[in-house]
Structure 1
C-alpha cells in the first residue's frame, strides 16, 4: 500500500472551496447591489458595477483572504445626498474617483493603524448586530413584502417606515407563494449543514445556497402551471437591467463629468466618501479577521490602497463607491472560503452573468435569497455568542450589547461610535481600579500602608492615584513600591514627587521604592538587565529581556487584564506536532495567539510510540484539553530528513533517525526514480504521511473516536522559501480498510470519522 498526497499548487487546492463560496456570495450580492443603488438614488447598474470592481479589482489587490468588497449600505445616505448636492450622477462619479485617490494616500500614510484600536467587544457586537439586522430586514422579503429595498439596512427609512413597522406590514400583507419558497429554501440550507449531506459527493459538488435558489426558481415556475395567484413577479424577483447587444451593454456604463474638476463641492463629497468608506472598511476588515478560523491579521494599509484603486476604477466606469462589506464577507467565511480567490470569482460571476444571462437571474425570487441571508444572520448572532460574552464579564458584555442596540436603531458607523464610547468608559474604569494594590498593617508606632504599583501605570491612572494619596491618614508610614513597574508616565512620577510636600504636612513618612529605575527610564537610559558576563555574545541574550518587556507593555496597553485572563487556563483547539527547527515557529506561521495551540516539537516531527514525552502530550491534548485538530507539520529543507538520507554515522541521533530511514525503505521504489532534490522533498512529505498514520494507530486517538469525539488529524508541509503551508490531504481510509484488525485496540473505534479533506480552521482562506 502506498499513501498518496496532492502536489498541486495552492490555488488549485483551494479552488473547489473558493468557487463554492464565490458562487454563494454572488447570489447574495446581486439583490444587495441593486437594492443599495436604488436606495442611493443612483442607476441600478451602478451597484452591479461596484460589485464587479469590488470582487475583481479589490479582491486581486487586497491582502485579506476573506474580505469581500462592494457597494455598502452604510454609504447610501451619503451617496444620495452627494448626488442631490452635485446635481448630476456624472459629477458624483468624479467625486468617487477622487475619493479613491485620497484612500490610496491614506494607505501610504499608514492610516490603517486606526483599525487596531477597535475593542474586541465592539467588533463582536458589530458582527452580532449585522446578524440580527439581516434577520429583521429579511423577514419581510421572506414573507413576500418587498416595499423596502434590499440594501436599506438603516433603522429609520426614507419612506417614513422603520425596521419594525416593515415587519408588521409584512405580516399584515403576506404572500403564501413567497413564504413557501422561503421555508423550502431554509429547509434545504439546514439539511445541507447536516453531516450526511455535507460530507457526501452531492454536498461537496453543490452548495446549499445554489440548490435553494434553483428550488425557488422551479417552484415559482410551478406556480405558473398550478396556482397563478401565487406567482412571484415584479418587485418580488431580482430585477437586473437587460441589454440585447454590445451597444446596449456599453450604454449601461457611465463616464464621470471631468468638467467639474474645479467644483469645490466635488472635493468635499470626495473627502466625505474617503473618510467614511475607509472607516467602514477598517471596521469590516477587523470583523472579518475575527471570523477567520485562522485568525490572521489582514494588512490594513494595503487594504486602504486596494480600496482606493477600486473606488477610482468604479467611479471611472460608472459605479458606486465600494468598501469592505461584512454581509458579503460573513457569507464568504460561512461558505468555506479559503483565499481571496473567492472574492475574485464572485466578481467574475457578476460580470459574466449580468451580461450574458440577466433573464435567468431575473427569475430568482427574493424570498429564496432572503432565506440565505436569514441563515447567515443566525450564524452571526447565535445565542451561544451572547452567552460567551456574558461569561467574560460586564466590562465586555455591556459594550457588546450597547453596540448591537446602537447599530440596530441607527446605522453601522454611528452604532460603532456609541459602542466605542462605552468601551472606552470601561477601559478608563479598569485603569482607574488597577493602578495599585493597597495593603495596611497596624504597628505600635502607627499605621503602615504599602501601595504596590502595577506593571503599567499610565496617565489614565492619575485620578485614582491622587484619590488614594489624598485619603492617606496622618502619622502613618507609607511605602510606594514601583520595583515591578515596567512603565510609568511622567505625570504619575511627578504626582508622587508633588505628594512629598503633602506628606510632610500630615506627618507621613514616605518611602518610594524603585524610583531610581523609573528616573533612568525617563532619561531613556537602559534598565538593568541580567548580564551573566560581558561581551558581544551576550547582547542577543540581553535583548530577549528587552523584547519581553516591550511585548508585555504592548499587550497591557491593549488589554490591562490580558495576562490575568491568560493565567485562568488554556482551551486550545489545536495540537501541533512539528520540527524543532528554529525557522518553523508554530504560532508565528499560523498567526495564532498564546492559548490557541498546544505544541510539541522534536527533530523531524516524528510520532514514535515509545516516545513517552510525545505520548504524554498526545494523551493530555486529546483526553484533557479536548483539542479538535491534531496537525503534524514537516518542512522542506528539514535537516533531520536530509541526515536520514545520508550514510554518515552521527552517533546517538542515529537511533532517532532510524524512524525516517524506515519511511525511506517503505517507499524506496517511488523515491528511486526521483532526482536528489525531488527525492528530498518527497521524503519530507512521506515522513509527514507516516506520522499521521502513526497517530491514527494510537489508543488515545482510537478511544476518542469510540467516544464520538470531534477529532480531526492533518498532515502539513511548510515551505521555508515562501512561507506557505500545504495540506497534504491524507486519506487514511485505505490504511484502516487493509489493516483494521492489526491496529485496532478493541475499544470499539471504527475507521476514522474525519479526514484531512474536512475543512481545517487553520487553512481556510490561506494560501497553502
Structure 2
C-alpha cells in the first residue's frame, strides 16, 4: 500500500501473512487480556471484551496498518484507582470509560495527535528496548511455573512487596517441574520450526507460536493423563471464562450506570483515563511506525478518534479502557503482518475463543506463552540495537539508555518523561548556537517548492517539517535546501527519509541542496540557481562527500580504514544490474567488506564472459563466499529492451542472452495479456535462468564437489517499494530435467 490508510481493496492483499500474524497476536493477547483485567481489579470477562473491541472496532477504524489495541498494562493502576474512586462500583466506572472515549474523539477533532511528532526517536527506541527487557524478565517466572502474578503485572516494584528480580529468584528457588519441561519443549519446538520454515516454504503459513502452543498443550494433557505429579494446576494455564451457551453472554455484559452522570468523581476518572490512554496510544503508534518495515505513518488524529470510539463501545458493554499496545503491536510486526487485517483477525479469534473454544483454550500452559513472549522481548532488545544507538553518538545514546532504565524501574509514561528530559537537555544545548528558522518558498505557477532548513534543525522542528511534507501537492517538484544547516537532528532526518517513499506515491520529484543527511547518505544535487556551474560543482561535491564520509567513519570507529586495509572476508557474492537505482549495500544494509559485487546490464551470468567468470572464481575459490545472490529488479531496461525488436546497437549482442530466456518461456509469457505483468514475469524468469547458469558453471560445481558451504539465491528488487523478494529458487526445481547434461564429474588427479 502506498498510503497510510489501508483501503478496502487492499485489505485482503496479504491475507496469508496477516492471518498468520493475527493468530500469533491472539495467542499472546488472550492471557494478557485476562491478566490485565485481574491486575486492574475488574471482572475477567471485561478484559476479553476489550481485547475483542480493540481488534474489531479500533482495528477497523484505525489508520495504522500494524498497531494492535486492547487493555494495556500501563492502565492497570489507573483502572484500579478509578474503580476505587467511584466506591468500587464497576458500573459507575464504566460510565467514566464512556466519557473518556468521548473526550478522546474530541481530542482527535482538535488535532491533538500532533503531540506524537514531538517524541524523540531515541526515546521511542529506548521504550521499545525496555519493553523487550521487561517482557523477558516478567516471563521468566511464568516459564518456571511461578504464576502467582497476573500476566498483566508489568511494574518493577509490586504492591505485594516483591519486585521483578525477587520474583525471578523465587521462581528459580521453587520451580514447577511440569512447567519447566513444557518451557524447554516449547523452546525446542520454536527454534526447530523456525529452522524448518527457512527450508520448507510450505510450512511458513503455520506460525511457530502455534506449534509451540500445540506442543505445550499436548504435553500438559499427557502429564494430566499419565504423570499426574507433573500436571499443571489451573493457575498455570489460561483461565478463560467458560460460556456454556450463547444465552449466557448477556449475563456477562455489564452496562454503565448513567444515574451517576452528575458524580464529579466520574469526570475526574474519565479525564485521567482519556489523558493517559491518549498519551500511551500516541507513544505506541510512534513506536509501531518505527518498527514498520515499510515506514508507513499512522494518522495520529484518526487514531485518537478510533481509540475514542473503542473506549466508548467498551464502556457501554462492560469493557475496561483500551489503548494501542506495544507488546501486541511488536508481536504483530515481528510475526510478519502486512496490514490492519491482522488486528481484525486477532479480534475475531478472541471472540470465537470465548464463545466456542474456552474449554480447549484453558488447556494452554502459560509456560508455552511465556516462551513466545520471551522471544518477542529478545527481538525488541537485541544487543545490536544498543550498539546501533551507541554509534549514533552521545546525544542519541544517552536519552535512549536513560529511557530504557527509567521505563524498566518506573512505568511507561514516567520512563518516557525522564527520557524526554534528557533529550531536551541536548536540544537546548544545541539551540544556543543558532537563531535561524525553517522557511518555505512556494512558486504556485510551476509548482516548484523550495524548503530552506535552518542552521540548527532540532526535533522541535519535526512537527512543522512533517506537516509541510505531508501537505505538499501531488505532481510537484520539491527541493530541500540544507545550505545553512550545520546540524540536523536524527528525528528530522528520519522524517525526510520516510518522505522519500511518500513522494514516489504522490509523483513528487524530490531533490536536495548540500549534504543534509549524514545518517542515511541521501545524495544531493547542486543548487539549481547556478546552472552554469552545475556540472563542475556536482563533480566537486563527490569529493566533498567523500571527505565527510571518511570523517564520519573515523568518528564512529578510529580503526575503520585500518581494519579495511587488512583484507576482505565477505560472506556474500552479489550479482546485480548496473542500474543506478539498485545499490547492493544500500538495499541490504551491509557495510564495506561484507559483500563482493559484480554488476552488468540485466544481471546476467554468461559462461563466456571472462570478466564475470574471473570474479566468480575469485569469490568462490579465494574468498570462500557462503552465498551467491542473483538480484534483478522490476522495471529493468535491459529486460524490457530484450522484449522488443528495436535495434539498439552493440548491446543487442548482450541482449541475445535475455531473448534466449524469452524463447525458453515463450508459451508462459505470451499467455500474459497485461504488459506490465508480462514484463515483471520476464524479469523473474531471467533471474531464474541466471541462477540456473550459476549451477552450470564448473567453478560452483567444483566447490560443491569439495563440500563447500555455498548456496545460490534468486532475488527480485521492487524499486517502487524498496522491498527485496526471495524467489525461493531451489536447485532441484530447475536442475531436475537437464541437470544430468550439465553435471560435471570431478575426479582426483
**Which TM-score applies when normalising by structure 2?**
0.69
Q: 1:265 to 1:590 in 2, by over 3 A?
A: farther
Q: How does 1:236-315 map to 2 (within 5 A)?
A: 236-258=236-258, 265-292=265-292, 294=293, 296-301=295-300, 302-315=302-315
Residue number in structure 2 paired with 1:69: 69
Corresponding residue for 2:79?
Answer: 79
Contact 1:255 1:318 in 2 (8 A): yes
Report if aligned partners of 1:188, 1:211 keep a CA contact under 8 Å in 2. Answer: yes
Deviations 1:3-37 (A, max 9, x none): xxxxxx98878444433332222221111100101
- Residue 629 of structure 1, CA deviation: 9.2
Q: Show the 5 A alignment for 1:92-131.
A: 92-107=93-108, 111-131=112-132
Report what 2:184 is aligned to: 183
- 2:158 maps to 157
Deviates more, 1:342-351 or 1:212-221: 212-221
1:716–1:728 CA contact under 8 A, matched in 2: no
Residue 734 (structure 1) aligns with:
733
The question of whether the paired residues in 2 share the 8 Å contact of 1:577 and 1:631 is answered with: yes
Q: 2: distance between equivalents of 1:700 and 1:128?
A: 45
Q: Compute the displacement of 1:47 (Å).
A: 1.1
Matches within 5 A, 1:342-741: 342-390=342-390, 393-428=393-428, 457-458=455-456, 486-487=484-485, 530-532=529-531, 577=576, 632-635=631-634, 644-651=642-649, 654-655=652-653, 657-675=655-673, 677=675, 679=678, 682-690=681-689, 693=692, 708=709, 712-715=713-716, 729-740=728-739
Deviations 1:318-372 (A, max 9, x none): 3222222222233334434444433332222111112101011112222222232
More displaced, 233-242 or 172-181? 172-181
Q: Distance in 2 between matches of 1:40 and 1:320?
A: 9
Name the larger-Rg structure.
Answer: 1
Distance 1:168 1:630, change over 3 A: same
Taking the aligned partners of 2:602 and 2:57, their CA distance within structure 1 comes to 42
Q: Shift in Å at residue 159 of structure 1? A: 3.2
CA deviation string 1:389-410 (max 9, x = no partner): 4555555444333222211211
CA distance in 2, matches of 1:747, 1:53: 65
> Separation in 1 of the partners of 2:265 and 2:210?
44
Q: Secondary structure at the match of 2:51?
A: helix
Distance 1:364 1:304 in 2: 34
Counterparts of 1:124 and 1:382, CA distance in 2: 12
Tell me, which stretches of 5 or more residues in structure 1 are unaligned? 1-8, 436-454, 461-483, 490-526, 553-559, 749-768
Task: Return the alpha-carbon distance in structure 2 between the equivalents of residues 742 and 413 of structure 1.
Answer: 67
> Hey, what's the Cα distance between the residues in 2 that align with 1:258 and 1:599?
70
1:214 to 2:214 alignment: yes
CA displacement, residues 455-514 of structure 1 (integer Å, 9 cap, x when unaligned): 964499xxxxxxxxxxxxxxxxxxxxxxx961489xxxxxxxxxxxxxxxxxxxxxxxxx
The whole-number CA distance in structure 1 between the counterparts of 2:573 and 2:326 is 27
Q: How far 1:417 sits from its partner (Å)?
A: 1.6
CA 1:74–1:731 in 2, change beyond 3 Å: closer, same or farther? same
The CA distance in 2 between the partners of 1:318 and 1:696, in whole Å, is 63
CA distance in 1, matches of 2:36, 2:649: 71
Q: Which moved more, 1:150-159 or 1:25-34?
A: 150-159
Instruction: Point out the more displaced range, 684-693 or 616-625.
Output: 616-625
Query: Matched residues in 1 for 2:225 and 2:40: separation?
Result: 37
1:488/1:134 Cα in 2 relative to 1: closer, same or farther (>3 Å)? closer
Report SS of the residue matched to 1:46: helix
Displacement of 1:95? 3.7
CA distance 1:733–1:111, shift in 2 (3 Å)? farther
Q: Deviations over 1:55-92 (max 9, x none)?
A: 23333444544432221101111122223334543343
The verdict on how the C-alpha distance between 1:728 and 1:318 changes in structure 2, with shifts beyond 3 A counting, is farther
Shift of the alpha carbon at 1:306? Answer: 3.8
Deviations 1:107-131 (A, max 9, x none): 5555445444444443333233222
8 Å CA contact 1:83–1:92 kept in 2: the answer is yes
After TM superposition, give the deviation of residue 213 of structure 1 in Å: 2.5
How far apart in 2 are the matches of 1:614 and 1:300? Answer: 49
2:36–2:76 contact (8 Å) kept in structure 1: yes
Equivalent residue pairs, number: 639
For the 8 Å contact 1:575–1:627, the answer to whether it is kept is: no
RMSD: 5.2
For residues 23 and 573 of structure 2, the distance between their equivalents in structure 1, rounded to whole angstroms, comes to 30
Distance 1:688 1:360, change over 3 A: same
Structure 2 regions of 5+ residues with no counterpart? Answer: 1-8, 436-452, 459-481, 488-525, 546-550, 565-569
| SS of residue paired to 1:181 | helix
Q: 2 CA distance for matches of 1:740 and 1:164?
A: 60
Q: What is the aligned partner in structure 1 of residue 478 from structure 2?
A: none
> 1:562 and 1:305 mapped to 2: Cα distance?
45
Query: How has the CA–CA distance of structure 1 residues 430 and 702 changed in structure 2, closer, same or farther, with 3 Å as cutoff?
Result: farther
Q: What is the TM-score when the length of structure 1 is the normalising length?
A: 0.68
Q: Distance in 2 between matches of 1:701 and 1:414?
A: 58
